[in-house]
Structure 1
């Protein structure tokens, strides 16, 4: 593949937008693999980068190829690679970790302090080919469709968030019904939750959350979330809050609706500090608060693969759009307007 060109979506400068360019197919070293990308999905992080918000301005350094969720086929591998073969169907753990720090050495590589993220800190997968360390690859069942396989990375975020504590028989609140929130509803159902209450301001996305498994949906623009929870739980509150919105008001509502002794797992990334009533909403309630980042490597991938391959969670209702790579601007517009579930681009 040396000296050959490929199509790629490039964040070309420090402003809103991106461009489709022809760039060189990446080369690989002895420990790396070259993958032909068959499907790549747009993530909220990609939207931040595309829109060039405050977070992306402080984090990424254009020009580079972004995107980090994908499925593809191995087409070349380095001479020291033994865990995958040419022709294997793969996706990737997007956190490239050091393998040497105390976290990596004690089974917590997902919180490695030296993590590099594909499509954020190095070239990503919005392209026809991507090169990655073989260690980061996850072999997919060949029967798994490429579009479904491409959403395993965010699906794993939802798995990690929902299953970070006990779920069976519990009442679960999912606050924020972007694609990961929608998937969280399906995972909570598969994990045996008694009630799954989904909150958002977007009726379209609430409908998708219901298709994915939410037993009740609340539009927080029209209905008081705390009153809705009180009614649905007979005043007891919810046992588990999965915070996916990042909105300060919604986050505060999550801490107020959780029952004494409950759990709040936070995957969202507020862009500014959030003021929380620690005394009354955390300490006196005796709740557990968890920050969720990435996926446990690779325990969460085993759960993700198991749930999808066994058909315990069907993600197809929330994959609402398939577009060629050339129509990426349409995909980002859908994401920014909230008129979609998951958008899959096909190189």
Structure 2
């Protein structure tokens, strides 16, 4: 194996990235080296590529970014016992400390010292990536690499939707980016009576329909609150999954949730958002839950079960494939919203 590899590098504090030849990572005793077979572009990657306010305050170029992938183990450290060379793997992208109060009480997904691959350390937009063995998730060799590469964001959708009961309930998914569209499929598979998807992009609303939405609403063409009232006889929806991060949409989510309902927020607004806490949360007795990452490794087990059983099929969501060298085409589609999930192949 050569000691150099192709990688997409966030090379400067500004818009864009570049394809470069960089050294293949070396591994420690408890790490593995993985040959990346498929890596998908996440909304977080778009933030970094576009160099928005969040990325300016968080990441430190130059470095290899990207965090969603599937690949094959090609080398392992001396003290690695959970995987073997040749195993098909993906990875939990939150590298946690194991000793903070959250890690010790079973909440490692909100570890106080989390490092995220592709954000805080080199990532997987490359031919090879090195990771701690404890972060690996072994895949069924029959699972296609492109599908396996989207398990990490699919886990975000699973965690958001299944943070509470949804069987027989009305669920609103606000924001139909790829994870929002996945959330539609999860809610439907979990037995929601209605899954109402809101967005401004008709292309993505069509994908939401394919994933099982019972109603889709273009919020530019219809008032979301009026539609919600019609669909719920004025009672409001039981569960809101907030995936948009837009202040107006987020406010609408709190207004459309029923008394005693749940609002689970995965989105990352780039600025503070004003919410009518008194009337839309306190007096309504609403449960508000911030969702970060995936419960380790409970959510991964749920992801594997949903995909393996066929209860959720993410293939309609994977709309584009490109070579790693064509990454700019993928990012352009993501920025324009003219795609579902974009997968790159090193």
For the aligned pair, the TM-score class normalised by the smaller chain equals over 0.9
For 1:1-347, list aligned pairs within 5 A.
1=1, 4-347=3-346
Distance 2:310 2:89 in 1: 19
RMSD of Structure 2 on Structure 1 (CA): 0.6
Distance 1:224 1:77 in 2: 55
Distance 2:230 2:323 in 1: 45
**Structure 1 residue ranges without an equivalent (≥5):** none
Q: CA deviation at 1:221?
A: 0.6
Distance 2:189 2:335 in 1: 29
Distance 2:32 2:308 in 1: 24
Q: CA deviation at 1:24?
A: 0.8
Determine helix, strand or coil for the equivalent of 2:344.
strand
CA-to-aligned-CA distance 1:244-296 (integer Å, 9 cap, x gap): 00000000000000000100000000001000000100000001000000000
CA-to-aligned-CA distance 1:306-339 (integer Å, 9 cap, x gap): 1001111000011000000000000000000000
Q: CA deviation at 1:234?
A: 1.2
Determine helix, strand or coil for the equivalent of 2:197.
strand
CA-to-aligned-CA distance 1:22-76 (integer Å, 9 cap, x gap): 1111000000000000000000000000001111000000000000000000000
Distance 2:294 2:88 in 1: 20
TM-score in terms of structure 1 length: 0.99
CA-to-aligned-CA distance 1:115-164 (integer Å, 9 cap, x gap): 00000000000000000000000000111100000000000000000000
Q: CA deviation at 1:12?
A: 0.6
TM-score in terms of structure 2 length: 0.99
Q: CA deviation at 1:4?
A: 1.1
**Structure 2 residue ranges without an equivalent (≥5):** none
Distance 2:230 2:21 in 1: 56
